């Protein structure tokens, strides 16, 4: 080796030390030559430098790792929203540590902590976050709610097939659907449902009742009902089935008047209304009544499609304004097969969203009279976004305006002719609003 010591220049002494009867032998190196000493010093310096560098690298890594852990812990609880999607006015850092603190307290102290479902807690947290926006139309749907919502919009679901409502605080059958399981089981309009299975409905919301009554095709649900005029209740067993609901119903009235009721704007609405339009034209109907009462809305594009059949090409149907203030308008594309046929539109407090878009478009473009009561007043547009685990979120992405530029949020659309529909009218199957619509359309076609 280059740095090997020259044995000739080293004197080896053996020294013996006595300690009792023990003898310890060791070797001592001495008398290094000058050249060997220099070589050995260079070797020592190299090793010293190597360990010094190793110390610096290791120390730096340890310091960086420790510091990184502190920063990571800090950043996991305090998130600065600088270039992210949400920024408050003061650009304050948002402290998430309070969320996890409550989470830990709940797990530690809640009386039924072993019954807690972490997934439900997360879903509840998301629902609370959206509720904090103050926007009632931005909602989170868990997997079951997503499935129910999709089925409703498709116009089909599994259940008993009855329209339910609250009347005098009692769950009441408004109407069993034609050929539905509820009708076949003997349920009638006006029946009071006092129990679902063995649970009283007295303090139950309509949504909770519907959730209990709905179920898979082929399964049974026991209802305790009181028929109108009876003194004793009856137990009715209804076997659930798949229910198909048409979103458009048409009836030919006298004097060549077509009555078209749009129940909601679902997947099949455009097709069903188009079929109704063809029948109106082929039957040479002289006037049309469009009934949008109690239509809660639905898909915006379905309302636009119907407007296209009743408004000439190139007219504004609706305008949308996004969160940046940018405004885009949706124009009619033609196919206005019914634009020359006299029409009136029925509206009420239950007409919302897409119903109001269609009513506003027909009023502003065609001077079609609106009859009934002021509409609900929902002037916003939602987008449904699918999420992992088959959940979804519905977010308000824009506000909409009528062709004349009216923003109707919480204001609604006022009818041209206001007509009341009292409880007494409802109980006795009278419809003064429809009667007025028939009167007006007759005047238009005569």
By annotation, the residues acting in catalysis are: 353, 364, 378
Could you identify the residue written with the tokens 């947290």? 125
- 234 CB-side CA count, 13 A: 14
What is the radius of gyration, based on Cα positions, of the chain? 39
Query: Do the beta carbons of residue 175 and residue 429 sit within 8 Å?
Result: no
Three-state SS at 121 = helix
Task: Identify which of 445, 399, 375, 419 has the alpha carbon closest to the alpha carbon of residue 135.
Answer: 399
Q: What is the DSSP letter of 156?
A: E
For 339-428, list the strands marked E by DSSP: 343-347, 369-372, 380-386, 392-401, 417-418
Write the DSSP string, 226-283: E-TT-SS-EEEEEE-EEEE--SEEEEEEGGGEEEEEE--B-TTHHHHHHHHHHHHHHT
For 104-256, list the strands marked E by DSSP: 139-141, 156-159, 162-167, 170-176, 192-196, 199-200, 220-226, 234-239, 241-244, 248-253
Query: Do the beta carbons of residue 181 and residue 160 sit within 8 Å?
Result: yes
Task: Identify which of 353, 376, 356, 372 has the alpha carbon closest to the alpha carbon of residue 364.
Answer: 356
Q: What is the DSSP letter of 298?
A: B
Write the DSSP string, 305-326: HHHHTTS-TT-EEEEEE-TTS-
- Identify the bridge partners of residue 257 per DSSP, sorted by sequence position: 253, 287
| Torsional class of 212: left (φ above 0), alpha (ψ -120 to 50), beta (otherwise) | alpha
């Amino acid at each position: 080796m280059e740095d090997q010591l020259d044995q000739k220049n080293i004197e080896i002494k053996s020294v013996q030390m006595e300690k009792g009867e023990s003898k310890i032998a060791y070797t001592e190196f001495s008398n290094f030559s000058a050249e060997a000493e220099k070589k050995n010093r260079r070797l020592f310096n190299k090793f010293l430098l190597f360990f010094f560098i190793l110390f610096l690298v290791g120390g730096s890594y340890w310091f960086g790792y420790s510091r990184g852990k502190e920063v990571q812990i800090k950043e996991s609880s305090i998130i600065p929203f600088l270039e992210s999607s949400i920024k408050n006015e003061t650009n304050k850092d948002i402290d998430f540590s309070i969320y996890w603190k409550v989470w830990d307290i709940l797990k530690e102290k809640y009386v039924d902590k072993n019954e807690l479902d972490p997934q439900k807690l997360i879903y509840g947290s998301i629902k609370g976050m959206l509720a904090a926006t103050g926007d009632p139309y931005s909602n989170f749907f868990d997997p079951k709610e997503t499935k129910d919502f999709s089925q409703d919009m498709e116009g089909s679901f599994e259940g008993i097939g009855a329209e339910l409502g609250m009347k005098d605080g009692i769950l009441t059958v408004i109407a069993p659907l034609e050929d539905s399981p509820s009708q076949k089981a003997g349920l009638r309009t006006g029946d009071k449902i006092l129990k679902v299975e063995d649970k009283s409905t007295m303090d139950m919301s309509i949504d909770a009742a519907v959730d209990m009554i709905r179920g898979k095709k082929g399964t049974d649900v026991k209802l305790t009902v009181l028929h109108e005029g009876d003194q004793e209740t009856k137990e009715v067993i209804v076997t659930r089935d798949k229910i198909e609901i048409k979103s458009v119903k048409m009836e030919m009235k006298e004097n060549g008047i077509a009555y078209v009721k749009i129940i909601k704007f679902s997947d099949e609405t455009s097709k069903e209304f188009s079929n109704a339009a063809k029948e109106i034209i082929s039957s040479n109907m002289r006037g049309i009544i469009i009934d949008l009462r109690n239509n809660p809305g639905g898909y915006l594009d379905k309302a636009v499609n119907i407007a296209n059949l009743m408004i000439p090409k190139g007219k504004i149907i609706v305008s949308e304004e996004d969160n940046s203030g940018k405004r885009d308008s949706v124009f009619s594309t033609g196919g206005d097969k019914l634009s020359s046929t006299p029409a009136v539109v029925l509206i009420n407090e239950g007409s919302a969203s897409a119903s109001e878009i269609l009513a506003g478009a027909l009023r502003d473009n065609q001077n079609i009279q609106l009859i009934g009561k002021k509409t609900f007043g929902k002037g916003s547009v939602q987008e449904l976004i699918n999420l992992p685990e088959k959940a979804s979120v519905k977010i308000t992405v824009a506000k909409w305006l009528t062709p004349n530029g009216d923003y109707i949020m919480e204001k609604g659309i006022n009818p041209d002719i206001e007509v009341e529909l009292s409880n007494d009218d409802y109980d006795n199957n009278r419809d003064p609003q429809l009667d007025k619509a028939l009167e007006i359309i007759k005047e238009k076609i005569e």
